[in-house]
Amino acid sequence: MSCPDGSCREPAKRSRALIMLGLMMLVFIALSGISFVKSRGQVTPDTVSFGNHNAIDGKRVFQAYNCMGCHTLVGNGAYFAPDLTKEYESAGPAWLAAFLPSAGGWPTEGALKTQLLNKEIAADAGVDNIADYYKKFPGAKERVERRGGKTTYMPNLPFSADEVGRLIAFMKYTSAMNTEGWPPEVKTGDLAKRLELAHGPQAPGQTAAATNASTPPALTPAQHGEQLAKEFGCTACHATDGKRLVGPAWNGLFGSQVKLADGTTVTADSAYIAESILHPEAQVVESYPKGTMPAYGKLMTDEDVKALVAYMQTLK
Protein backbone atom coordinates (compact mmCIF):
# COMPACT_ATOMS: atom_id res chain seq x y z
CA MET A 1 0.00 0.00 0.00
CA SER A 2 1.38 3.41 -0.94
CA CYS A 3 1.28 6.26 1.59
CA PRO A 4 2.21 9.51 -0.27
CA ASP A 5 1.71 11.74 2.76
CA GLY A 6 3.89 9.54 5.00
CA SER A 7 1.09 8.84 7.50
CA CYS A 8 0.65 5.14 6.67
CA ARG A 9 0.75 2.88 9.77
CA GLU A 10 -0.04 -0.40 8.03
CA PRO A 11 3.41 -1.97 8.59
CA ALA A 12 3.16 -1.36 12.35
CA LYS A 13 -0.30 -2.92 12.52
CA ARG A 14 0.88 -5.91 10.53
CA SER A 15 3.82 -6.37 12.91
CA ARG A 16 1.58 -6.32 15.96
CA ALA A 17 -0.77 -8.85 14.36
CA LEU A 18 2.11 -11.17 13.58
CA ILE A 19 3.41 -10.88 17.14
CA MET A 20 -0.03 -11.76 18.58
CA LEU A 21 -0.33 -14.67 16.19
CA GLY A 22 3.09 -15.90 17.30
CA LEU A 23 2.08 -15.66 20.98
CA MET A 24 -1.14 -17.57 20.35
CA MET A 25 0.81 -20.30 18.57
CA LEU A 26 3.18 -20.56 21.53
CA VAL A 27 0.23 -20.87 23.95
CA PHE A 28 -1.36 -23.53 21.74
CA ILE A 29 1.88 -25.53 21.56
CA ALA A 30 2.37 -25.25 25.34
CA LEU A 31 -1.17 -26.40 26.12
CA SER A 32 -0.85 -29.26 23.64
CA GLY A 33 2.33 -30.38 25.37
CA ILE A 34 0.71 -30.20 28.79
CA SER A 35 -2.16 -32.40 27.56
CA PHE A 36 0.34 -35.24 27.06
CA VAL A 37 1.67 -34.96 30.60
CA LYS A 38 0.09 -37.21 33.24
CA SER A 39 -3.07 -35.55 34.49
CA ARG A 40 -3.23 -34.16 38.02
CA GLY A 41 -3.47 -37.48 39.84
CA GLN A 42 -6.58 -38.43 37.83
CA VAL A 43 -7.20 -42.18 37.67
CA THR A 44 -6.84 -43.86 34.28
CA PRO A 45 -8.68 -47.04 33.17
CA ASP A 46 -5.48 -49.00 32.62
CA THR A 47 -4.78 -48.83 36.38
CA VAL A 48 -8.16 -50.20 37.55
CA SER A 49 -9.16 -53.86 37.60
CA PHE A 50 -11.64 -56.28 39.14
CA GLY A 51 -10.02 -59.66 39.64
CA ASN A 52 -8.36 -60.46 36.32
CA HIS A 53 -10.63 -58.06 34.40
CA ASN A 54 -9.53 -54.53 33.51
CA ALA A 55 -11.54 -51.36 33.02
CA ILE A 56 -10.45 -50.88 29.40
CA ASP A 57 -12.11 -54.16 28.37
CA GLY A 58 -15.10 -53.18 30.50
CA LYS A 59 -15.47 -49.95 28.56
CA ARG A 60 -15.60 -51.96 25.34
CA VAL A 61 -18.41 -54.13 26.76
CA PHE A 62 -20.23 -51.00 27.93
CA GLN A 63 -20.02 -49.56 24.43
CA ALA A 64 -20.86 -52.84 22.66
CA TYR A 65 -24.19 -53.08 24.50
CA ASN A 66 -24.87 -49.36 23.96
CA CYS A 67 -25.49 -48.81 27.66
CA MET A 68 -25.49 -45.04 27.15
CA GLY A 69 -28.55 -45.47 24.97
CA CYS A 70 -30.43 -45.50 28.30
CA HIS A 71 -27.93 -44.49 31.01
CA THR A 72 -25.59 -41.56 31.54
CA LEU A 73 -21.98 -41.24 32.65
CA VAL A 74 -20.93 -37.97 34.28
CA GLY A 75 -24.27 -36.61 33.11
CA ASN A 76 -23.68 -37.48 29.43
CA GLY A 77 -25.90 -39.92 27.56
CA ALA A 78 -29.60 -40.72 27.53
CA TYR A 79 -31.71 -39.90 30.56
CA PHE A 80 -34.02 -42.93 30.47
CA ALA A 81 -32.15 -44.68 33.30
CA PRO A 82 -29.92 -43.67 36.26
CA ASP A 83 -26.45 -42.18 35.95
CA LEU A 84 -23.87 -44.95 36.43
CA THR A 85 -20.80 -42.86 37.29
CA LYS A 86 -20.78 -43.76 41.00
CA GLU A 87 -22.62 -47.08 40.73
CA TYR A 88 -19.75 -49.18 42.10
CA GLU A 89 -19.11 -46.78 44.97
CA SER A 90 -22.78 -46.88 45.97
CA ALA A 91 -23.73 -50.55 45.52
CA GLY A 92 -20.42 -52.42 45.35
CA PRO A 93 -19.28 -55.47 43.40
CA ALA A 94 -21.60 -58.05 44.99
CA TRP A 95 -24.71 -56.08 44.08
CA LEU A 96 -23.47 -55.53 40.52
CA ALA A 97 -22.54 -59.21 40.16
CA ALA A 98 -26.04 -60.18 41.32
CA PHE A 99 -27.85 -57.61 39.18
CA LEU A 100 -26.12 -57.62 35.80
CA PRO A 101 -26.78 -61.26 34.74
CA SER A 102 -30.51 -60.93 35.59
CA ALA A 103 -31.26 -57.23 35.30
CA GLY A 104 -35.00 -57.83 34.94
CA GLY A 105 -35.27 -58.28 38.71
CA TRP A 106 -33.76 -56.39 41.64
CA PRO A 107 -31.29 -58.45 43.75
CA THR A 108 -32.37 -59.69 47.17
CA GLU A 109 -30.23 -59.97 50.28
CA GLY A 110 -29.89 -63.70 49.64
CA ALA A 111 -28.47 -62.96 46.21
CA LEU A 112 -25.85 -60.63 47.73
CA LYS A 113 -24.90 -63.21 50.36
CA THR A 114 -24.42 -65.72 47.56
CA GLN A 115 -22.11 -63.38 45.66
CA LEU A 116 -20.02 -62.71 48.78
CA LEU A 117 -19.14 -66.41 48.84
CA ASN A 118 -17.10 -65.69 45.72
CA LYS A 119 -13.56 -65.00 46.95
CA GLU A 120 -12.87 -62.61 44.06
CA ILE A 121 -15.90 -60.47 44.90
CA ALA A 122 -15.28 -60.56 48.66
CA ALA A 123 -11.63 -59.56 48.14
CA ASP A 124 -12.60 -56.66 45.90
CA ALA A 125 -15.28 -55.48 48.33
CA GLY A 126 -12.88 -55.84 51.27
CA VAL A 127 -15.57 -57.62 53.36
CA ASP A 128 -16.96 -61.14 53.52
CA ASN A 129 -20.28 -60.73 55.34
CA ILE A 130 -23.47 -58.87 54.53
CA ALA A 131 -23.46 -56.59 57.61
CA ASP A 132 -20.04 -55.13 56.79
CA TYR A 133 -20.96 -54.97 53.12
CA TYR A 134 -23.99 -52.79 53.90
CA LYS A 135 -21.81 -50.46 55.97
CA LYS A 136 -19.33 -50.04 53.15
CA PHE A 137 -21.90 -49.85 50.35
CA PRO A 138 -25.06 -48.29 51.86
CA GLY A 139 -26.65 -47.96 48.44
CA ALA A 140 -26.90 -51.75 48.23
CA LYS A 141 -28.82 -51.95 51.51
CA GLU A 142 -31.23 -49.22 50.44
CA ARG A 143 -31.94 -50.97 47.14
CA VAL A 144 -32.41 -54.39 48.68
CA GLU A 145 -34.83 -53.06 51.31
CA ARG A 146 -36.82 -50.92 48.90
CA ARG A 147 -36.74 -52.96 45.70
CA GLY A 148 -35.34 -56.44 46.42
CA GLY A 149 -37.20 -59.17 44.54
CA LYS A 150 -39.26 -56.75 42.43
CA THR A 151 -39.10 -56.40 38.66
CA THR A 152 -37.22 -53.66 36.82
CA TYR A 153 -37.65 -51.83 33.51
CA MET A 154 -34.27 -53.07 32.31
CA PRO A 155 -34.20 -56.13 30.02
CA ASN A 156 -32.16 -59.23 30.76
CA LEU A 157 -29.09 -58.87 28.56
CA PRO A 158 -27.00 -61.90 27.46
CA PHE A 159 -23.93 -60.99 29.50
CA SER A 160 -21.37 -63.74 29.92
CA ALA A 161 -19.58 -64.17 33.24
CA ASP A 162 -16.46 -62.51 31.76
CA GLU A 163 -18.49 -59.56 30.48
CA VAL A 164 -20.02 -59.06 33.92
CA GLY A 165 -16.53 -58.96 35.48
CA ARG A 166 -15.34 -56.46 32.87
CA LEU A 167 -18.34 -54.21 33.43
CA ILE A 168 -17.71 -54.22 37.18
CA ALA A 169 -14.10 -53.21 36.50
CA PHE A 170 -15.29 -50.34 34.28
CA MET A 171 -17.80 -49.10 36.88
CA LYS A 172 -15.10 -49.34 39.53
CA TYR A 173 -13.02 -47.01 37.35
CA THR A 174 -15.85 -44.50 36.80
CA SER A 175 -16.47 -44.40 40.57
CA ALA A 176 -12.80 -43.58 41.11
CA MET A 177 -12.84 -40.65 38.66
CA ASN A 178 -12.65 -37.13 40.03
CA THR A 179 -15.73 -35.61 38.41
CA GLU A 180 -15.21 -32.30 40.26
CA GLY A 181 -18.79 -32.33 41.51
CA TRP A 182 -20.46 -33.07 38.19
CA PRO A 183 -23.26 -33.93 37.72
CA PRO A 184 -24.72 -32.05 40.71
CA GLU A 185 -26.49 -34.11 43.33
CA VAL A 186 -30.27 -33.83 43.31
CA LYS A 187 -31.73 -33.07 46.74
CA THR A 188 -35.11 -34.76 47.15
CA GLY A 189 -35.78 -34.07 50.82
CA ASP A 190 -36.69 -36.48 53.59
CA LEU A 191 -38.59 -39.50 52.27
CA ALA A 192 -40.54 -40.08 55.47
CA LYS A 193 -41.86 -36.50 55.50
CA ARG A 194 -42.91 -36.71 51.87
CA LEU A 195 -44.72 -40.01 52.49
CA GLU A 196 -46.52 -38.50 55.47
CA LEU A 197 -47.66 -35.56 53.37
CA ALA A 198 -48.89 -37.93 50.68
CA HIS A 199 -50.60 -40.55 52.85
CA GLY A 200 -51.12 -38.85 56.19
CA PRO A 201 -49.55 -39.76 59.57
CA GLN A 202 -49.68 -43.30 60.84
CA ALA A 203 -52.86 -44.09 62.73
CA PRO A 204 -52.48 -44.43 66.53
CA GLY A 205 -52.05 -48.00 67.62
CA GLN A 206 -51.26 -49.19 64.09
CA THR A 207 -47.79 -50.39 65.05
CA ALA A 208 -49.07 -52.08 68.20
CA ALA A 209 -51.76 -53.85 66.22
CA ALA A 210 -49.18 -55.18 63.82
CA THR A 211 -46.98 -56.33 66.69
CA ASN A 212 -49.83 -58.14 68.42
CA ALA A 213 -50.98 -59.90 65.23
CA SER A 214 -51.48 -63.63 65.51
CA THR A 215 -48.61 -65.92 64.53
CA PRO A 216 -49.01 -67.08 60.92
CA PRO A 217 -49.63 -70.79 60.36
CA ALA A 218 -46.71 -73.08 59.54
CA LEU A 219 -45.77 -73.19 55.86
CA THR A 220 -45.97 -76.29 53.72
CA PRO A 221 -42.71 -77.34 51.99
CA ALA A 222 -43.96 -75.87 48.69
CA GLN A 223 -44.90 -72.57 50.37
CA HIS A 224 -41.52 -72.47 52.08
CA GLY A 225 -39.86 -73.10 48.71
CA GLU A 226 -41.80 -70.23 47.13
CA GLN A 227 -40.67 -68.00 49.99
CA LEU A 228 -37.04 -69.06 49.46
CA ALA A 229 -37.30 -68.38 45.73
CA LYS A 230 -38.33 -64.79 46.51
CA GLU A 231 -35.74 -64.38 49.27
CA PHE A 232 -32.87 -65.49 47.04
CA GLY A 233 -34.20 -63.75 43.93
CA CYS A 234 -34.38 -67.03 41.98
CA THR A 235 -37.23 -65.88 39.75
CA ALA A 236 -35.11 -63.02 38.41
CA CYS A 237 -33.26 -65.68 36.39
CA HIS A 238 -35.81 -68.53 36.25
CA ALA A 239 -39.28 -67.69 34.96
CA THR A 240 -42.40 -69.44 36.22
CA ASP A 241 -44.45 -68.63 33.10
CA GLY A 242 -42.33 -70.34 30.44
CA LYS A 243 -40.37 -67.27 29.33
CA ARG A 244 -36.67 -67.58 28.55
CA LEU A 245 -34.62 -65.59 31.03
CA VAL A 246 -31.02 -66.01 32.19
CA GLY A 247 -31.68 -69.62 33.24
CA PRO A 248 -34.23 -72.31 32.28
CA ALA A 249 -37.88 -71.74 33.19
CA TRP A 250 -39.17 -73.61 36.24
CA ASN A 251 -42.75 -74.27 35.23
CA GLY A 252 -43.08 -77.77 33.82
CA LEU A 253 -39.44 -78.49 34.63
CA PHE A 254 -39.94 -81.21 37.25
CA GLY A 255 -40.12 -84.62 35.61
CA SER A 256 -39.29 -83.30 32.14
CA GLN A 257 -36.40 -84.34 29.90
CA VAL A 258 -33.57 -81.83 29.91
CA LYS A 259 -30.93 -81.72 27.19
CA LEU A 260 -27.46 -80.82 28.49
CA ALA A 261 -24.61 -78.95 26.86
CA ASP A 262 -22.65 -82.20 26.37
CA GLY A 263 -25.49 -83.64 24.25
CA THR A 264 -26.88 -86.03 26.85
CA THR A 265 -30.41 -85.95 28.23
CA VAL A 266 -31.43 -86.28 31.88
CA THR A 267 -34.70 -86.40 33.79
CA ALA A 268 -35.33 -83.35 35.96
CA ASP A 269 -36.06 -85.29 39.13
CA SER A 270 -35.35 -84.30 42.74
CA ALA A 271 -31.70 -85.38 42.56
CA TYR A 272 -31.04 -83.44 39.35
CA ILE A 273 -32.65 -80.24 40.65
CA ALA A 274 -30.84 -80.50 44.00
CA GLU A 275 -27.49 -80.89 42.24
CA SER A 276 -28.30 -77.95 39.96
CA ILE A 277 -28.89 -75.77 43.04
CA LEU A 278 -25.85 -76.90 44.99
CA HIS A 279 -23.42 -77.51 42.10
CA PRO A 280 -24.75 -75.69 39.00
CA GLU A 281 -21.60 -76.35 36.95
CA ALA A 282 -22.03 -80.14 37.15
CA GLN A 283 -24.70 -80.37 34.44
CA VAL A 284 -25.19 -77.26 32.30
CA VAL A 285 -28.36 -77.06 30.20
CA GLU A 286 -27.90 -76.73 26.45
CA SER A 287 -27.90 -73.16 25.05
CA TYR A 288 -27.40 -71.58 28.50
CA PRO A 289 -24.05 -69.99 29.46
CA LYS A 290 -21.78 -71.74 31.91
CA GLY A 291 -20.54 -69.87 34.98
CA THR A 292 -23.57 -67.61 35.44
CA MET A 293 -25.35 -69.29 38.34
CA PRO A 294 -23.57 -69.28 41.74
CA ALA A 295 -23.49 -72.38 43.96
CA TYR A 296 -25.89 -72.28 46.92
CA GLY A 297 -24.32 -75.09 48.93
CA LYS A 298 -23.16 -72.79 51.73
CA LEU A 299 -26.40 -70.82 51.96
CA MET A 300 -29.12 -73.45 51.74
CA THR A 301 -29.74 -76.45 53.94
CA ASP A 302 -30.96 -79.80 52.67
CA GLU A 303 -34.44 -78.86 53.89
CA ASP A 304 -34.29 -75.63 51.88
CA VAL A 305 -33.37 -77.53 48.74
CA LYS A 306 -36.21 -80.00 49.30
CA ALA A 307 -38.59 -77.09 49.77
CA LEU A 308 -37.52 -75.55 46.46
CA VAL A 309 -38.01 -78.89 44.72
CA ALA A 310 -41.49 -79.12 46.26
CA TYR A 311 -42.30 -75.64 45.00
CA MET A 312 -41.14 -76.53 41.47
CA GLN A 313 -43.42 -79.57 41.50
CA THR A 314 -46.39 -77.19 41.84
CA LEU A 315 -45.40 -75.23 38.73
CA LYS A 316 -47.17 -77.19 36.02
Mean pLDDT of 287-297: 84
Model confidence at 86: pLDDT above 90: yes
Select from 101, 88, 117, 115 the least CA-distant residue to 162.
Answer: 101
Determine the 3-state secondary structure of 45 from DSSP: helix
Provide mean pLDDT across the span 3-26.
Answer: 79
In this prediction, what percent of the chain has a pLDDT beyond 70?
Answer: 85
Q: What is the tens place of the pLDDT at every residue in 152-196?
A: 989 888 898 899 999 999 999 999 998 877 766 655 555 555 555
Domains and CATH numbers, the chain: 45-176 (1.10.760), 221-313 (1.10.760.10)
Q: Is 50 exceeded by the pLDDT of residue 235?
A: yes
The whole-angstrom separation of Cα 153 and Cα 272 is 33
Convert 281-310 to b/e letters by CB count within 10 Å (16 or more is b).
eeebbeebbeebbbbbeebbeeebbbbbbb
Q: For residue 73, what is the enclosing H or E element?
A: strand 72-73
DSSP per-residue letters across 136-181: H-HHHHHHHHHHTT-B-SSPPP---HHHHHHHHHHHHHHHHS--TT
As a whole number, mean pLDDT of residues 272-277 equals: 92
pLDDT, mean over the chain: 85
d(CA 149, CA 157): 18
What is the H or E stretch that residue 95 is in? helix 87-99
Point out the least confidently predicted range of 64-68, 213-217, 222-226, 297-301: 213-217
70 pLDDT more than 90: yes
pLDDT attached to residue 140:
96
Residue 204 has pLDDT above 70, yes or no: no
Chain-centroid distance of CA 301 in Å reads 28
pLDDT at 208 over 50: no
Mean pLDDT of the region 94-110: 93
pTM over 0.85: no
Beta-bridge partner residues of 77: 72
Question: Looking at per-residue confidence, does 76 or 189 come out higher?
Answer: 76
